């Protein structure tokens, strides 16, 4: 089996892809800042790995609300998926050839904190800053609801808002804002305490309620964005993300998205998104997962037979429209001698090619107490994976 270093392999893959990178010097342009009324120099990299990824403007600008994601999103899996999933959706309207990515620059941290609050917590603010979650005050009594009542009648639906900006190049050697994408991260479970410092309880939120409240919030967000002069005539994509539970080992997914064209405020018909992350092996898989589950179990059993002193083998499959798109396998091991890891990698790669679908993107991460040990990447319809053994 041939052995390749991972970084050169990516470059080779990029050069052979349909969207081969242009190796000419990067393009230097100017960018007008709507918020600061200033002109900045920016660079568009001419290197593009493939057409699934946006080119990102340099210097890289972090989101104005970047720090909030850690406190508002439950799991590390959701933190990644709420952003990468929104990029996938954005490609329906902002293609990767003509649009460049930049983290959101228009919704600052203070604004988002107000929007994520309840209206009774933002009463001293203007209408454009009112909380988007339900009020926790009982209308009949004017008093704060009991925590148990609040959990069923007025849970926090909106957990976080992700903003992404998409820019295009003009004839005047500038880049300008040409599109905005908004991801609304919605809770599937409401966690609450009946008393301060007390035990945490949870209340699951029905899917129908998440959907209805999310779409209502989305319309209000569009209204507020259109009220800003710098966003009044920019196309906006807005999508609903259903967060996983706190102890989930797979991320949540986007469920629906909508599009408001230039200058338009009213949202039209929502488009459903059929995406799901699942773990393998499964004890009782649905029909759509059965074949891959059987293949993975056979793969796992052969690993178990040959090496008995590792912890476990599990995988995460990503499905779109009931069809698997990729499989990420994780193998934590207890041994970490160089010869043993090399032998395990060779054997494992052979099993992967024998048991798992050839037309599937597969990544295998082998880790030990020392950290990453091996990374294996198999592109669809390739029978010679890229392998990197960490030194």
Please tell me the predicted confidence (pLDDT) of residue 92. 96
79 shares a domain with 133? yes
Summarize pLDDT for 354-364 with one digit per residue, the tens.
Answer: 999 999 999 99
Of 46 and 303, more confident: 303
Is 1 within a domain? no
- Long-range contacts, stretch 267-276, CB < 8 angstroms, 24+ apart: 267/215, 267/218, 267/219, 267/222, 267/238, 270/215, 273/89, 273/239, 274/319, 274/320, 274/321, 274/322, 275/85, 275/318, 275/319, 275/320, 276/318, 276/319
The answer on 226 and 79 residing in a single domain is: yes
Q: Across all residues in the chain, what is the average pLDDT?
A: 87
Domain tally, the chain: 2
**Same domain? 253 vs 321:** no
Let me know if residue 186 belongs to a domain.
Answer: yes
Which tens digits make up the pLDDT trace of 101-112?
A: 999 999 999 999
Inform me whether the pLDDT recorded for 370 exceeds 60.
yes
| Co-location of 238 and 286 in the same domain | no
Q: How far apart are CA 168 and CA 176, in angstroms?
A: 6
Q: Give yes or no: residues 266 and 287 share one domain.
A: no
Is a pLDDT exceeding 70 seen at residue 6?
no
What was the pLDDT predicted at 8? 36
Instruction: Give the tens place of pLDDT for each residue, 93-136.
Output: 999 999 999 999 999 999 999 999 999 999 999 999 999 999 99
Whether residues 303 and 379 share a domain: the answer is yes
Local structure of residue 146 (DSSP, 8 states): P
Range with the poorest average pLDDT among 184-188, 198-202, 286-290, 308-312: 308-312
Domain boundary among 254, 273, 292: 273
Which pLDDT score is estimated for 27? Answer: 58
- d(Cα 190, Cα 213) in Å, to the nearest integer? 14
Residues 330 and 364 in one domain: yes
Looking at the DSSP bridge assignments, the partners of residue 58 are: 43
Position 24 scores a pLDDT of 44
261 domain-assigned: yes
Q: What is the pLDDT of residues 149-181, one digit of tens each?
A: 999 999 999 999 999 999 999 877 789 999 999
Record the tokens describing residue 7, joined without a space. Answer: 């970084």
**Residue 179 and residue 112 share a domain:** yes
- For residue 152, tell me if it sits in a domain: yes
Same domain, 196 and 85: yes
Neighbour order of strands in the sheet with 371-378: 275-280, 314-320, 323-332, 361-368, 371-378, 386-389
Helix (H, G, I), strand (E, B) or coil at 292: helix
Q: What is the dihedral of CA 182, 187, 193, 196, to 10 degrees?
A: -10
Answer yes or no: do 330 and 243 share one domain: no
Give me the long-range contacts of 252-255 (CB less than 8 A, separation at least 24): 252/78, 252/81, 252/82, 252/188, 253/81, 253/85, 253/277, 254/85, 254/86, 254/89, 254/183, 255/210, 255/211
Instruction: Examine residue 11 and state whether it is found in any structural domain, yes or no.
Output: yes
Please check whether residues 269 and 287 belong to one and the same domain.
Answer: no
Domain of 332 in residue numbering reads as 278-389
Section 305-332 average pLDDT: 88
pLDDT at 42: 76
CATH number for the domain spanning 191: value is 3.10.570.10
Calculate what percentage of the chain has a pLDDT beyond 90: 68
**pLDDT tens for each residue of 194-234:** 998 899 999 999 999 999 999 999 999 999 999 999 999 99
Q: Show which of 223, 242, 273 is a domain's final residue.
A: 273
**pLDDT for res 32:** 59
Q: List pLDDT tens digits, range 322-355.
A: 999 999 999 988 876 888 889 889 999 999 999 9
Asked, for residue 160, whether it belongs to a domain, the answer is: yes
Q: Which position has the token pair 């040990």?
A: 373
Both tokens assigned to 281: 């092996």
Q: Is residue 266 located within the same domain as residue 282?
A: no
The answer to the question of residue 213 being in a domain is: yes
Of 1-5, 30-34, 293-297, the least confident: 1-5
Among 227, 248, 273, identify where a domain stops: 273
Q: Would residue 234 count as lying in a domain?
A: yes
Compare 255 and 197 and report the one with higher pLDDT.
255
- CATH number, domain of 319, equals 3.30.300.190
* Geometric angle at alpha carbon 111, from 106 and 112, rounded to 5°: 90
Amino acid 339: pLDDT: 87
Q: What percent of the chain has pLDDT over 70?
A: 87
Phi, psi of 334 (to 5 degrees): -95, -25
Instruction: Give me the pLDDT at residue 12, please.
Output: 33
Peptide bond into 281 cis (omega under 30): yes
């Amino acid at each position: 089996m041939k052995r390749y270093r991972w970084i050169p392999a990516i470059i080779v893959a990029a050069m052979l892809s349909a969207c081969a990178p242009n190796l000419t010097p990067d393009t230097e342009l100017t960018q007008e800042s709507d918020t600061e009324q200033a002109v900045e120099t920016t660079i568009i990299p001419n290197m593009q790995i493939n057409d699934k990824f946006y080119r990102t403007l340099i210097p890289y600008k972090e989101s104005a609300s970047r720090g909030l994601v850690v406190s508002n999103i439950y799991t590390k899996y959701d933190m990644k998926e709420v952003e990468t999933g929104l990029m996938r959706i954005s490609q329906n309207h902002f293609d990767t050839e003509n649009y460049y990515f930049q983290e959101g620059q228009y919704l600052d941290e203070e604004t988002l904190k107000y929007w994520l609050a309840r209206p009774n917590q933002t009463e001293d603010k203007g209408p454009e800053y009112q909380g988007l979650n339900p009020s926790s005050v009982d209308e009949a009594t004017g008093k704060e609801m009991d925590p148990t009542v609040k959990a069923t009648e007025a849970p926090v639906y909106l957990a976080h808002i992700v903003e992404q900006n998409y820019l295009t190049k003009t004839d005047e050697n500038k880049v300008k804002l040409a599109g905005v994408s908004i991801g609304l991260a919605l809770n599937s479970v409401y966690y609450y305490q009946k008393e301060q410092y007390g035990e945490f309880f949870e209340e699951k939120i029905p899917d129908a309620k998440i959907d209805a409240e999310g779409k209502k919030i989305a319309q209000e967000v569009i209204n507020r964005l259109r009220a800003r002069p710098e966003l009044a005539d920019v196309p906006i994509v807005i999508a609903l993300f259903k967060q996983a539970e706190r102890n989930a080992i797979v991320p949540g997914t986007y469920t629906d998205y909508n599009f408001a064209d230039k200058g338009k405020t009213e949202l039209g018909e929502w488009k459903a998104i059929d995406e799901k992350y699942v773990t393998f092996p499964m004890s009782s898989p649905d029909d759509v997962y059965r074949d891959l589950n059987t293949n993975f179990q056979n793969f796992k059993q052969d690993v178990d037979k040959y090496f008995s002193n590792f912890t476990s083998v599990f995988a995460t499959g990503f499905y779109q429209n009931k069809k698997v798109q990729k499989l990420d396998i994780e193998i934590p091991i207890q041994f970490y001698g160089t010869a043993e890891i090399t032998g395990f990698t060779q054997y494992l790669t052979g099993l992967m090619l024998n048991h798992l679908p050839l037309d599937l993107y597969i990544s295998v991460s082998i880790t030990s107490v020392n950290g990453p040990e091996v990374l294996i990447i198999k592109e669809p319809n390739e029978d010679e994976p890229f392998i990197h053994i960490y030194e």
